[in-house]
Amino acid sequence: MSSVATLPASTASVRIRISKDDILLRTGLVLLIGLLLLAVVFPLYTLLSKSFEDRDGEFVGLQNFREYFETPALFTSITNSLGVAISVALIVLVLAFVYAYALTRTKMPFRGLFRGIALIPILAPSLLAAISLIYWFGNQGVLKSWLFGASIYGPIGVIMASCFWVFPHALMILITALSTADARLYEAAEALRTPKWRVFWTVTLPGAKYGILSTGFIVFTLVITDFGVPKVIGGRFNVLATDVYKQVVGQQNFEMGAVVSLVLLLPALVAFIADRWVQRKQVAMLSARAVPFQPKSDPLRDRLLFVFCSIIAFIFIAMLAMAAYASFVTFWPYNLSLTLNNYDFDLMDGGGWEAYYNSIRLAIYCAVFGSGLIFLGSYLVEKARGVTWLRTILHLGAMLPLAVPGLVLGIAYIFFFNHPDNPLGFLYGTMGILVICTIVHFYTVSHLTCLTALKQLDPEFEAVSLSLKTPVWRTFRKVSLPVCLPSLLDVASYLFLNAMTTVSAVVFLYSPETMLASVAVLNMDDAGDIAPAAAMALMIVYTSAIFRMFHSLLVRTLNRRTQVWRQK
Amino acid sequence: MKKFINNISQLSRGILGLAVGLMLAIPASAETLTVYTAVEAEDLKRYAAAFNEDHPDIKIRWVRDSTGIVTAKLLAEKNNPRADIIWGLAATSLMLLQSEGMLQPYAPKGLGKLDSKFRDSANPPSWTGMDAWIAAVCVNTVEAKRYNLPTPTSWMDLTDPVYKGHLVMPNPNSSGTGFLDVSSWLQIFGERGGWQFMDNLHKNIAWYTHSGSKPCKQAARGETPIGISFAFRGAKSKAAGAPLEIVLPKEGVGWDMEATAIMKGTKKLSAAQTLADWSITKKANILYNKGYAVVAYPGVAKPVKYFPAGIQEAMIDNDFEFAAVNRRRILKEWQKRYDAKSEAK
Amino acid sequence: MSESKQTYLSIENLTKHFGEFVAVRELSLEIYDGEFICFLGPSGCGKTTLLRAIAGLDPQSSGSITQAGKNISNLPPAERDFGIVFQSYALFPNLTVFQNIAYGLENQRLPKAEIRKRVTDLLELVGMPEQTAKYPAQLSGGEQQRVALSRALATSPGLLLLDEPLSALDARVRAALRQEIRALHDRLGVTTILVTHDQEEALSMADRIVVMNHGRIEQVGTPEEIYSTPASPFVADFIGVMNFMYGEISSSGTVRIGNNSIECETVNIPEGRKVRLTVRPEDILCRADSASDQSVSANSFSVKVESLEFLGSFCRLILSGPEGFGKLKADLSTQQVHDLKVIPDVTLTAEFPSRNLRIFPESS
């Protein structure tokens, strides 16, 4: 066995001359790494260093941390944050699992419709749920009595609203986890005359184990880093995320904001690492030879699940409908006549219709530039030859944003781009910084989507092109790009929707010219104009919904025109 | 496919052009003043329009937020200021900025015509006043009746346990109104008495809001029966049809001035001075009077609809110096005492 | 192949390591102009690594490669002259058959008409004249591989590299394509390197076979040479089916296995040295067992049939030999099995003709 023996003595190592293609790809790699350094690493570093400085920029070591940890508010916030995040994770996990089970493993009627309804919250900013809950259960709420005297302002409201907006995120992962079942396992279990409940516990649950864990982590991170919901409906219930907002926006105490956001980065980072670990396990579990599972009908089970899904879907529609109705009410609860006045945003404190147009602009820029840039990045990670270390660095850079909560990113951007010595300072307060920040915030998921699409391409395409003396960009344009187009459009759509609804990072970065609709919702609620806030949130929902429709139409047309080759 | 790719590339080229154009368009016009303000959004348009009638060559770029936030933002940007001029921010905040050496003293044309209370006493002054805004308690009569709450007549009344969970007030850290409330209580009841009062009041507070107008707007909607806010907001909500009663507590109410000041180091000094000049004209003061009962230019003030009577008498003899000098200390103390807790003790 | 052939590609002292792992070790090889050569070996033997080094896709760590008299060791793949076909076909899924084949031609800025002609000619050559407008997904595996072959040949490369091109196909198609590829090669005369782990493929297609193991060449030779005179136990074992018997030289011309002696050419291996004897199953001659017949040949022994396996044209017998011989495989025609009435537990006489025995000294 000589294969792992010492290396041969001859040391005259061969260096292949670098071709034009390689220069092109490597330049691209270096450029993108540079971009990610500027847009992720440097800002985070600035944030970190800021937490060790006082107001005058002097290094004070752990002083800020000490001061923060001595504040009595802190532990309340930490326990509140953890409590809410864990409760939501558990509740959503159970509900979304049953819902996903009904959608994937049964013959329940209207599965498509139920799926569509459950995805509604993705079209709305997280604040919508909170606003709607105020109309349902607030002090003037229609169903206030249902709370038996408890107040919606506080943990109850935060948990309910959070469950609503994270539900589709959980559902999508669980649907994927439950769709990848191997029918042969079920056939084997059936052949052994295993009772159904036992099949569920021994086959279904273990099969979805990693999906469930992953969902738990993601929901936990989403909730613990969201501040829109606790801000609107939290009342006096403080959580870490609202602490950051109060420190930075309320008091412009950036150093303390840096400290709290680092504290907030911690659970998010833990969840991120745990999720990565789980994902890796999951990959190992998937077998290419699995036979897809075909659900059989079971009248009793299907009927029960139909009732369950109907209740959830009804709640979702009720949430949306109440906000929609309230946005037309003249003066809740004293004058219930309908009016369009609440849509007259130009008279409100929140940026007016311009904010809405800005949001659309932001969403379009993010969709166009973001998807292009991210696809290019994933292409380089996957296809650049040699220089493995550069590709690894770029890939790590692309994974990093997932671990960084939006509001941490936003604050880091303030420090970095508003620094007087930063030559990029001209970006501060422009649409440009919002675009960059939003793209970075949602970079990782997009990157992974593109990477998955590219991995499905034969790895030898590039080798073939080289043998045919074709420059790499031509193969990129003629083959890689067209083949990955559906994924690319998905990424564009993902970026568009998120840019429309996101609040967490951009709330620290908008300027009067670049006020956004989602931020306007927050600000109008802040000023007490809850009906216009609902109206603006609904404008976001309508726009996102129209965009979604446009997207699926486009995809269908494109598939007919450019993806004919997929048909056998 | 080729055609499609071409279309895509044309589209993206178009969008790229658009994007670059947009980014460049903002700093393009030379005479644009960046004006920081805490004036209500619905008034800003009128202010800018009226100013532009006289000075069409100077564009205004508003940066608006709550008093506390604008103040904090200005302080945070101390080393890299972005504002050219401040038009409509609490005088206590401006005095704080003055002590930080951030303001450019300037005597606007016609300064002599202003009520002397409405200006910095130094010569030339660092800031000039516009109008005063005054604390008030908004009581929703419908809700008060429902919960059997007596109409409060004094601040002390509000500490009565009967109001427990029915009061909302602004967080002084972010809201100028919140701060003027706190600083007025410390002046009315003294340092110890003031904190004692707030300790008791805190037991009744349902939640603290970010902005100063929100408590009154929530009272107007019946989301809370009583909101501690400011008179101007109460009058407006009442005019909009809310069942409100605007109460001026008998111990007296805190107030603050909105004022104008030029930022030190602005590159557009002459334009900023033009705006400062205009901000103290009679025309400007007539505009301020649409929302504020008390304005700096004597003889301009007309009664505002639903504005509570006797407000001049209710205003305490505000010690701005005290408020400005102790701002940071007061806010820190307040945060330590009340921001922390999640449950009423 | 005759020695007078001109060298087209020469590899000298080539080493490729991935970190600590040495995939190809100080390997030298000459490939003649126009020949069809096979790199054969088990997976991980370095054959694909060698192919990719020749293409420049995974450049060697050291050593040099000369193609048509030109040192190409440092050239990037795009500047080398080769066409390549992969096991996965690597056809561009979104391009039609025509566009796939024309892909390399378009880049040479040839006139459209010329490209069209070249593509049609190639498709005719591989027997798919009417399929230009189809997409790869609409073709069978064999058809896809024909298109891949046409695409690789379109630019008339001086060297054709085939990386396990038939492994993904089913047996019937594989056999047909083997012949087609070989016929195509004979017609075009392009120097071709085929990487495969399938010895049958190598034996049936190649002019010469390079048997590789652990990054080294075990033997280079014609299929005939490789089969009948394997240069090492590895080659003997890897190519075809082989029986191994372990013993030691008792005297010149005699090997002792257990208590028996067997006569064979001992090629100057010193006495007492441990050796391995090999014999192919078809070279073991079986007769009915008769004690009186022992004198016919010195290398005859009594063996017991353990089991027999019907393999169509012949039967494979598993025999347990005398002590030290272990289990042996012997192939008999179906007729012989019938004549000898072979069933399990029957005893036969097996002869090991000296001329078919090969001897390998054990490394000490």
Q: Please report, rounded to a whole number, the percentage of residues in chain C having pLDDT higher than 70.
A: 96
Question: Do C250 and C340 belong together in one domain?
Answer: yes
Q: Residue B285 — pLDDT band, cuts 50, 70, 90?
A: very high
DSSP C284-331: -EEEE--GGGGGG-TTEEEEEEEEEEE-SSEEEEEEE-STTS-EEEEE
- How many Å lie between the alpha carbon of C255 and the closest alpha carbon of chain A? 28
Question: For the domain that residue B66 is a member of, what is the CATH number?
Answer: 3.40.190.10
Same domain, B236 and B108: no
Q: Which of A9-23, A58-72, C50-64 shows the lowest per-residue confidence on average (mean pLDDT)?
A: A9-23
Residues C43 and C131 in one domain: yes
Q: Domain residues for C88?
A: 7-238
Interface contact A2-C61, CB threshold 8 A: no
- Average the pLDDT over A225-242 and give the result: 88
pLDDT digits (tens, 9 = 90+) for A32-80: 999 999 999 999 999 999 889 887 778 888 888 888 888 777 778 888 9
Does B3 contact chain A (CB < 8 Å)?
Answer: no
Which residues from B are below 8 Å from A558, CB to CB?
4
Residues 6+ apart with CB under 8 A from A516: A351, A355, A358, A359, A362, A434, A506, A510
Determine what percent of chain B is predicted with pLDDT higher than 90. Answer: 54
Domains parsed from chain A with CATH numbers: 76-304 (1.10.3720.10), 327-414+423-568 (1.10.3720.10)
pLDDT for B247 equals 95
C-alpha angle with apex C72: C68 to C77, nearest 5 degrees? 110
User: Does C75 share its domain with C176?
Assistant: yes
Same domain for B317 and B194, yes or no, is yes
Q: Are residues B212 and B275 in the same domain?
A: no
Q: Are B109 and B219 members of one domain?
A: no
Percent of chain A whose predicted confidence (pLDDT) is above 70? 95
The total number of structural domains in chain B stands at 2
User: Is residue C63 assigned to a domain?
Assistant: yes
End-to-end CA distance of chain A: 47
Both C230 and C252 in a single domain? no
Which residues in chain B touch residue A254, judged by CB atoms under 8 angstroms apart?
Answer: 76
CB-based contact (8 Å) between A15 and chain C? Answer: yes
CA–CA distance from A133 to each of A42, A126, A239, B293, C114 (Å)?
40, 12, 19, 37, 71
Least confident of A112-121, A340-349, C177-186, C337-346: A340-349
Whether B282 and B211 share a structural domain: no
Measured between CB atoms, does B215 come within 8 Å of chain A? yes
CB contact under 8 A, A332 and B211: no
Same domain, B99 and B160: no
Nearest to C83 among A11, A467, A563 (CB): A467
In a domain, C280, yes or no: yes
Inter-chain touch A458–C90, beta carbons under 8 Å: yes
Residue with more model confidence, A265 or A441: A441
Confidence band of A326 (pLDDT split at 50, 70, 90)? very high
Chain A: residue whose CA lies nearest to B215: A528
- For chain C, the chains sharing at least 3 beta-carbon pairs closer than 8 angstroms are A
Among C221, C238, C255, give the residue marking a domain's end: C238
User: Which of C26, C67, C94 has the highest number of chain A CBs within 10 A, making it the mutation to test binding with A?
Assistant: C94
Q: What is the pLDDT of residues A259-268, one digit of tens each?
A: 888 888 888 8
Q: Is residue C77 part of a domain?
A: yes
Note the pLDDT of residue A284. Answer: 55
> pLDDT grade, residue A7 (50/70/90)?
very low
Angle at B140 between CA B136 and CA B146, to 5 degrees: 145
pLDDT in tens, A112-145: 999 999 999 999 999 999 999 999 999 888 898 8
Residue reference for tokens 């003595």: A9
Does B305 fall in a domain? no
Among C200, C215, C238, the domain-final residue is: C238
CA C217/CA C222 separation, integer angstroms: 14
Q: Do A22 and C79 make contact, defined as CB atoms within 8 angstroms?
A: no
B105 and B82 inside one domain:
yes
pLDDT of residue C2: 46
Please tell me the predicted confidence (pLDDT) of residue B312: 80
Determine the distance in angstroms separating the CA of C232 from the nearest CA of chain A, rounded to an integer.
15
Higher pLDDT among residues A402 and C294, named by residue: A402
Q: A383: pLDDT confidence band, cut at 50, 70 and 90?
A: confident
Residue C261 belongs to domain with CATH number: 2.40.50.100
Task: For residue B197, tell me if it sits in a domain.
Answer: yes
Q: Read off the pLDDT of residues B295-311 as tens digits, 9 standing for 90 and up.
A: 899 888 887 788 888 88
- Rg for chain A, CA atoms, rounded: 25
Band the pLDDT of A197: cuts 50, 70, 90.
Answer: confident
Q: Considering the domain boundaries, does residue B106 fall inside one?
A: yes
pLDDT at B344 over 90: no
Same domain, yes or no, for C75 and C103?
yes
Percentages helix, strand, coil for chain B, rounded to the nearest 5? 50, 20, 35
DSSP state of A471: -
Same-domain check for residues B175 and B62: no
* Other beta carbons less than 10 A from residue A432's beta carbon: 20
Statement to judge: residues C135 and C251 lie in one domain:
no
**C221 and C292, same domain (yes or no):** no
Mean pLDDT of B132-136: 91
The tokens 């999720």 sit on which residue? A275
**Dihedrals phi, psi of C297, to nearest 5 degrees:** -145, 145
In angstroms, what CA-CA distances link A452 with A218, A298, A480, A487, C241?
20, 36, 12, 9, 44
B24 pLDDT band (50/70/90 cuts)? very low
CATH of the domain at C139: 3.40.50.300
For residue B124, cis peptide bond before it (omega within 30 degrees of 0): yes
Interface membership of A237 toward B (CB under 8 Å): yes
Q: How many CB pairs under 8 A join A and C?
A: 144
Contact A458 C88 (CB under 8 A): yes
Chain B's closest residue to A237, CA to CA, is B342
Pair of tokens at residue A188:
């084997």
Q: Say whether C17 sits in a helix, a strand or coil.
A: strand
Residue C321 lies in a domain: yes
Residue A202: how many CB atoms within 10 A of its CB?
A: 13
Q: Which residues of C touch A468 (CB under 8 A)?
A: 83, 103-104, 107, 151, 154-155
Same domain, yes or no: C163 and C247: no
In a domain, B5, yes or no: no
pLDDT of A457 reads 87
Distance CA(C47)–CA(B229), nearest Å, equals: 83
Q: Write down the residue that tokens 């909009």 correspond to.
A: B240
Q: Flag whether B302 is in a domain.
A: no
Binning pLDDT at 50, 70 and 90, where does residue A560 land? confident
Domain shared by B140 and B249, yes or no = yes
pLDDT top residue among C292 and B285: B285
For position A287, what pLDDT does the model report?
53
Q: Is the pLDDT of residue B224 over 80?
A: yes
Round to whole Å and give the CA distance between C302 and C316.
Answer: 17
Q: How much is the mean pLDDT over chain B?
A: 86
Name the B residues in 7-26 with CB < 8 Å from any A CB. Answer: 11-12, 15, 19, 22-23, 26
Same domain for C229 and C248?
no
Query: Given pLDDT bands bounded at 50, 70 and 90, which one contains residue A1?
Result: very low
| Cross-chain Cβ contact B221/A246 below 8 Å | no
* Model confidence pLDDT, tens digit, residues B136-167: 999 999 999 999 999 999 999 999 999 999 99
- Decide if pLDDT at B343 tops 70: no
Q: Poorest-confidence range of A27-36, A380-389, B27-36?
A: B27-36
CA C127 to chain centre: 27
The helix-helix angle for B327-334 and B176-204 (nearest 10°) equals 30
**Residue (of B289, B263, B287) closest to B54 by Cα position:** B287
**B262/B251 same-domain check:** no
Poorest-confidence range of B147-161, C22-36, C254-268? Answer: C254-268
Q: Hey, are the CB atoms on C90 and A461 less than 8 Å from each other?
A: yes
- The mean per-residue pLDDT over the stretch A90-108 comes to 94
Find, in chain C, the residue whose alpha carbon is nearest to that of A23: C76
Q: Which residue has the higher pLDDT, A23 or C5?
A: A23
C345 lies in some domain? yes
- Does residue B303 belong to any structural domain of this protein? no
Which residue would you say has higher pLDDT here, B343 or A502? A502
Chain B residues within 8 A of A430 when measuring between CB atoms? 23, 26
Domain range for B159 is 133-255+310-339
In this predicted structure, what is the pLDDT of residue B173? Answer: 83
C-alpha closest to that of B35 among B25, B45, B21: B45
Residue-level pLDDT at C233: 93
Distance between CA atoms of A497 and B200, rounded to whole angstroms? 47
- Choose among C316, C288, C318: nearest CA to C306: C318
Provide mean pLDDT across the span B39-52. Answer: 84
Measured from the Cβ of residue A419, the count of other Cβ atoms closer than 10 Å reads 19
Residue of B62, B64, B76 with shortest CB distance to A252: B76
Shared domain check, B117 and B238: no
Which residue, of C202, C223, C238, is where some domain finishes? C238
Residue A285 vs residue C158, higher pLDDT? C158
pLDDT in tens, B249-258: 999 999 999 9
By Cβ distance, the residue of A331, A429, A511 closest to B241 is: A331
Residue A14 near chain C (CB below 8 Å): yes
Q: Are residues B195 and B226 in the same domain?
A: yes
Task: Determine whether the interchain pair B340/A430 forms a contact, defined as Cβ–Cβ distance below 8 Å.
Answer: no
Q: Do A483 and C94 touch (CB under 8 A)?
A: yes
Residue B187 covered by a domain: yes
Q: Are residues C207 and C311 in the same domain?
A: no
Residue C41 lies in a domain: yes
Same domain? C333 vs C277: yes
Number of folded domains that form chain C:
2
Interchain pair C86, A460: CB under 8 A: yes
Residues C102 and C192 in one domain: yes
- Higher pLDDT: C5 or B153? It is B153
Give contacts of B 170-199 with A, CB under 8 A: 171, 173-174
